[in-house]
Chains A and B, each alone.
Chain A
Amino acid sequence: GNSVTQMEGPVTLSEEAFLTINCTYTATGYPSLFWYVQYPGEGLQLLLKATKADDKGSNKGFEATYRKETTSFHLEKGSVQVSDSAVYFCALSHQGGSQGNLIFGKGTKLSVKP
């Protein structure tokens, strides 16, 4: 069945460091891929998405590229800030439909120190 695997956290970085959070997936067909972020005490916020191979999603300095050949959707940011401290979830949705039936990874907690 479909699944998402994320790198284990927590990840601790200093401000302005480069961030990579790895995400790989297993899916039939051509799923859409998402990154969601959950700040402390809040719900899930859609950070970025990509719907087909080689698409790059980007938002707030974060980006991720849909790599079908490696079944990956790694999240990157060139220079993290303390305010980026949160839990990041990679997710995929089935091909077609409303794309709302998401399969999530376990989440990766990021802590950014000043």
Chain B
Amino acid sequence: EPEVTQTPSHQVTQMGQEVILRCVPISNHLYFYWYRQILGQKVEFLVSFYNNEISEKSEIFDDQFSVERPDGSNFTLKIRSTKLEDSAMYFCASSPGTGGPFFGPGTRLTVL
């Protein structure tokens, strides 16, 4: 069964450093998403991406964040200058266009 994959599973970084989280969505899906879950809190929508551009983003997704689909398979989330409060589990998800998105296993980001 096809699935969304994410790498790395755990990323540790120093405050102020740039990080790139990587995802490979399900191959025939058209919509791609990033969510995050701060420990003990709700899962929060960050951004959706369709047809090579951002289709929707939340207030959380400020200028420090960017997304890219550099080739036909990868989908990345970049945080330019990490802050302590960026520590969270980041989930990538993809969808064929209807129905709920399929989530990856997540990348735990720890900012020290």
Using A43-B103, A46-B100 as known contacts, say yes or no to A99 and B95 having CB atoms under 8 A apart: yes
Residues of A close to B35: CB separation below 8 A: 102
* Chain B contact residues, CB within 8 Å of chain A: 4, 30-31, 33, 35, 41-45, 48, 50, 55-56, 91, 93, 95, 97-106
Of B93, B95, B101, the most chain A CB neighbours within 10 A belong to B101
The prevalent SS among residues of B at the interface is strand
> Which of A36, A97, A101 has the largest count of B CB atoms less than 10 A from its CB?
A101
Of all chain B residues, the one with the shortest Cβ separation from A105 is: B42
Smallest beta-carbon distance A56→chain B, Å:
16
- Contacting B at CB under 8 A, from A89-106, are 89, 91, 93, 97-106
From the candidates A43, A99, A106, name the one contacting B42 in the complex (CB within 8 A): A106
Cβ B99 vs Cβ A99 within 8 A = yes
Q: Is the CB of B45 within 8 A of A44?
A: no
Report if A83 contacts B (CB, 8 A): no
Whether the pair A99, B48 counts as a contact (CB closer than 8 A) is no
Contact present for A42 and B48 (CB under 8 Å): no
Q: Are B100 and A45 within 8 A (Cβ)?
A: no
- Pick the contact of A101 from B43, B56, B105, B106 — CB < 8 Å? B56
Residues of A within 8 A of B55 (CB): 97-98
Task: Provide the main secondary structure of the chain A interface.
Answer: strand
Q: Given A98-B31, A102-B45, are A43 and B100 also a contact pair (CB < 8 Å)?
A: no
CB pair B106 A43 closer than 8 Å: yes
Evaluate contact between B45 and A43: CB separation under 8 angstroms.
no
Contacts of A43 in B (CB 8 A): 4, 91, 103-106
Residues on the B chain within 8 Å of A99, using CB: 95, 98-101
- Binary per-residue interface labels of chain A (73-114) against chain B in the complex, 1 for a CB within 8 Å, 0 otherwise: 000000000000000010101000111111111110000000
